[in-house]
Structure 1
Amino acid sequence: MPGTYTPVGYLPVLIFLIIALGFGLGSLLFGYILRPRRPYDEKLSTYESGMVPEGEPRQKFSVQYYIIAILFVVFDVEAVFLYPWAVSFDKIGLYAFIEMILFIVVLVIGYIYAWRKDAFLWD
């Protein structure tokens, strides 16, 4: 009948959402009530280490730092793709094997390119 539809399928989702929200807010409240409150000058300073900050807070990093970070992420993520392939190696057949060989060849070409551009040198 029109107008009498109740989305019963969403009830578990609503219950889970209420429990998750209650757990999150309860944890924050519990921490707020039990935490120690003893502020002092060093603790309220910019850094909790107690050391006085030196220099400008916005210092410039070398572009090389970012290039090495990006290369690390790229090669690390690419290596993660090898694990599912290795697990299902006996079931995937020759086509997937050739695709993975091409994938590794592209990775090696990228590695050689980065090496020739001195992207791995840390100054």
Structure 2
Amino acid sequence: MPVSASYFQSYSVVGVLAVVGVLFVAVAFGANRLLRPVVPTPEKMLTYECGVDPVGEGWAHTQVRYYVYAFLYVIFAVDSIFLFPWATVFANAQFGAATLVEMFIFLGFLAIGLLYAYKKGVLTWT
């Protein structure tokens, strides 16, 4: 068997699986459309939002401070994501000093972000 035939045969398996997957989804959607009851009522046509009937206008005000809390969470999440691999590399004798310097630079950037949040008054609990 030539090399090109086995090469394309491996892709044919992927192609057959893709076609089977698309057919499975199409059959599932078709069966759903044929078997579901279709009885539209005015209550079914209402907008459903968390179990509460829609009353008033659809505009909702969001406090900006929630985005700031999310930003602070991202700062600490990124910090923890980088601290765990750093701790495993730091144990290696070859990389000890270099990883220590890199981590202090990284923690410095995080400290700058935290200092900025403190100066803006985000970290005050009022």
Q: TM-score, length-normalised on structure 2? A: 0.63
Secondary structure in structure 2 of the residue aligned to 1:42: coil
Q: In the alignment, what sits opposite 1:57?
A: 58
Provide the residue aligned with 1:21 in structure 2. 22
Greater Cα offset, 9-18 or 111-120:
9-18
2:72 & 2:39 partners in 1: Cα distance? 45
Are the aligned partners of 1:47 and 1:53 in contact in 2 as well (CA < 8 Å)? yes
Q: Whose relative contact order is higher, 1 or 2, with alpha carbons under 8 Å and at least 6 apart?
A: 1
Deviation larger for 87-96 or 109-118? 87-96
Structure 1 residues 20-63: Cα deviation after superposition (integer angstroms, max 9, x where no partner): 43444455445556666665443331116564323321222222
**Counterpart position of 1:111:** 114
Contact 2:75 2:110 in 1 (8 A): no
Q: Which runs of 5+ in 2 are unaligned?
A: none
Counterpart CA distance in 1 for 2:40 and 2:50 is 14
Within 5 Å, give how 1:43-122 maps onto structure 2: 43-47=44-48, 51-91=52-92, 93-94=95-96, 95-120=98-123
Moved more, 70-79 or 97-106: 70-79
Listed as ranges, the gaps of 5+ residues in structure 1 are none
Equivalenced residue count is 119
Q: Max radius of gyration: which structure?
A: 2
Q: Report the RMSD for the aligned CA atoms in angstroms.
A: 3.4
The answer to whether the Cα contact below 8 Å between 2:89 and 2:95 also exists between their aligned partners in 1 is no
